[in-house]
A and B are shown apart, each in its own frame.
Chain A
Amino acid sequence: MTSTASTEKPRLSAKEVFGKIFHNQLFIPLVALVLLVVFNLATDPGFFKVSLEPNSSGNLVLSGNLITMIDYASELVILAIGMTLVTSASGGQDISVGATIAIAGSTILRIVKTQSPDISGGQFAGMIIVSFLLCVFVSALFGAFNGALVAFFKIQPMVATLILFTAGRSIAAWINNNDNISINDKRFGYFGNFIPGIPVPTPVFITILCLIVIALVLKFTNLRLYSQSVGINASSSRLNGINPKMIKLLTFVILGICVAVCGFIKVSRTSSITYSVIANNIEMDAILAVALGGNSLGGGKFNLTASVIGAYVIQFLTTTLYKFKEIDSSSISAYKAVVVILLIIISSPFVRKLFDDFKNKREAAKAEALAGKENT
């Protein structure tokens, strides 16, 4: 937005440039990110120190708060991609993602647990691929279930996904007969931790891969245009030859695939699963990432970059809060809720309108004063 405007009118006053930046969608998440960085540097100058240290299995890996943050933000970023698309097309959010992650993880473990730990590398790779594909299939199916309820039965997305939100974790437990599974094969943990010899956590690579794939999809297909037009006005896009039902269904299936990837990373991190705890509260974070990115939660236009930055901000916030003395994991949500409400209030159209009104009034007053001077 800023760049095109500046090419048309090369000479902009500083005020106009500021106005353009202020109204850019990336403004709020980036400011939040900068604020968090400054705050952390002020309280602890060594916060961003990154060092190369051997981990528990003896490999040299990068460690430090920054690396941990980027590593753990992976699931959130991948989810934010799917959530942004769903939000854009259907004007609602999927609150069942946490529960479906549990289902996806449970599906993978169901297959992997049957294999003995001493199979060869090739066989292991084959098994991982098969289990992952099955997991993608299952998650996409659950996504399609949500999508069908939303698209064909016209149920509000949040309520349609309420069904899986209630039952999802139970289904996950049922897939594995409520057994506590832990995989002893070290190779299974590579995908959520480190591959020996590579100092960067694997989830970071998976995230980058996902981002590249979605960028290519948005570049070479009409997905962006179609989902935005469906989100803005479903009936007029139908008259223009787009099938809004299929688009809505498609976005939910894409979210399902994102969920499958997240589930895979999640179970690989710990090589085990706890049905009631895995990916707990992640739906809140994913929705907030979308909201923080300045995307309208009522559907329509979206900016994926802003959502991704929003996801990193949320994870950054979590890491920062964890560092704060003795906050335990369950009470962290209270602090987060307060911060997030404040952020949403600041970025809301209502406050922006107030700000604009204030500016207009001031300008009007100035113009009046000028007119008064001319008269005298």
Chain B
Amino acid sequence: MSINSNALGSNKLKKRASLTDTNLLLIITIAVFVVMYICAVVFLKKGFTKPQMFFNILNENASLLVLSCGMTLVMITGGIDISVGQVTSLVCMACAVHLEKNGGNVFTSILIALGIGLAFGIVQGFLVAYLEFQPFIVTLAGLFFAKGMTTIVCSDRVAVTFEPFVKLCRTEITVPFMGSVNKKGIYIPAYVEVGVIVALVVVILLFCLLRWTKLGRNFYAVGGNNQSANMLGINVKLTKFLAHVLCGLCAGIGGYLFFLHACSGSPLHAQGAEMNAIASSIIGGTLLSGGVGNIIGTLFGVLSLSTIKNIVTSLGLEDAWWTNITVGVMLCIFLLVQSVILARKNNKKK
């Protein structure tokens, strides 16, 4: 970069450099997922050849997908929200108790889920954006609050037997042309659950939000550089607040999707989901320093994470600790890659 180049030119150069980095992270993520899945298909075979395996991954991780998308929004603005896992647990428990013990209906249970998520989002967003507390501390307190509230609502597992809801849980939406033939020669159609559709809709909406709306671009601006965003006339506090509110809302939706999949409420639900969500976002190329991130990347982050979990399980290492260790190792590797890319970016700037 020559000294004589005008400000506009250097700006353009920087922008292009950062975009390539973003794309690079995204490409790495997608490549990792594809390679991993192909390896699983070639070497493991057990079920990985069937399309249904892929749909099962989606079915199991619909809620994680929504949680991770919310997390990505907050991380783009430079914050973090670690309360989402326990909020999920709280939503499950509250909805289960509402349906089972208080005789509620499906519609009100959805309202409860969204309400809980929004409440957490608004309170945490207010504390983070307007009172300027560290997001980690605020959401850590939120995590423990939700954890405690779950046991206060009910300390045992509550299975839901409410007829319309169970029907909704069991609804299988057939995916055309993706079925497989079992040993007896009977054609079994591939299916996804209702939750997957909702999750995909959320993904598309958030993708559009980030790419084409003013608010979405503001998220990037605030995360990229707080002060310059402020000087550009962006309401930084409001933007951060809205990111947390959206994340809370996502936690509410994700919680309800988890509830749909599990069909019960328990204090042990969604343990460590926040870590999985953060890991998915990081694997998906969201930079922790804020300003860089992509919903599509997050989608592939979730897929990679759940595929590796499935591979670990099908390798016969069924003990729960192996999954945690692999997730930890994977997180470590991606963090290192990010760190190297960031260092390269900083060098370029100089």
Cβ of A166: which chain B residues have Cβ within 8 Å of it?
272, 275, 279, 324, 327-328, 331
Minimum Cβ distance to chain A for residue B62 (Å): 21
Q: At the interface, is chain B mostly helix, strand, loop or mixed? A: helix
User: In the complex, what residues of A have CB within 8 A of residue B151's CB?
Assistant: 328, 330-331, 334
Which positions 298-340 of chain B face chain A at CB distance < 8 Å? 319-325, 327-329, 331-332, 335-336, 338-340
Contact call A167/B327, Cβ cutoff below 8 A: yes
Q: Is A159 an interface residue (CB 8 A)?
A: yes
For the complex, give the distance between the alpha carbons of A167 and B332 in Å. Answer: 11
Contact of A171 among B142, B144, B288, B325 (CB under 8 A): B325
A348: contacting residue among B133, B147, B343, CB under 8 A:
B133
Q: A162 contacts B331, CB within 8 Å? A: yes
Chain A residues lying within 8 Å of B148, measured Cβ to Cβ, are 330-337
Tally chain B residues at the interface, Cβ within 8 Å.
48
Would you call A162 and B132 a contact (CB within 8 A)? no
**CA–CA, A167 and B312, complex, Å:** 15
Q: Would A154 and B288 count as touching, CB distance under 8 A?
A: no
Which residues does chain B contribute within 8 Å of A284, judged by CB atoms? Answer: 140, 144
Quick check: A163 and B137 within 8 Å, CB to CB?
no
Cα distance, A344 to B146, chains bound together (Å): 18
Given A93-B136, A170-B322, A178-B319; A155-B141 close (CB under 8 Å)? no
**Pair A330/B267 contact, Cβ less than 8 Å:** yes
A93 to B173, CA, bound (A): 45
Report chain A residues within 8 Å CB of B278: 159, 162
Mask of A312-342 contacts with B, CB within 8 angstroms, 1/0: 0000000000000000101111111110110
Interface centre among A164, A284, A331 (most CB of B within 10 A): A331
Contacts of A328 in B (CB 8 A): 151, 155
A166-B279, A167-B325, A170-B321 as given contacts; A330 in contact with B336, CB under 8 Å:
no
List 24 interface pairs A-B (beta carbons < 8 Å), by A numbering.
A149-B332, A154-B339, A160-B335, A162-B275, A164-B328, A166-B275, A167-B325, A169-B324, A170-B322, A171-B325, A174-B321, A174-B325, A178-B321, A287-B137, A328-B155, A330-B151, A330-B267, A331-B148, A333-B147, A334-B146, A337-B148, A338-B145, A348-B132, A350-B131
Residues of chain A having any CB pair with chain B under 8 Å: 93, 149, 153-156, 158-160, 162-167, 169-171, 173-174, 178, 281, 284, 287, 291, 297-298, 328, 330-338, 340-341, 344-345, 348-350
Give B contacts to A, CB under 8 Å. Answer: 80, 127, 131-134, 136-138, 140-142, 144-149, 151-152, 155, 267, 272, 275, 278-279, 282, 288-289, 319-325, 327-329, 331-332, 335-336, 338-340, 342-343
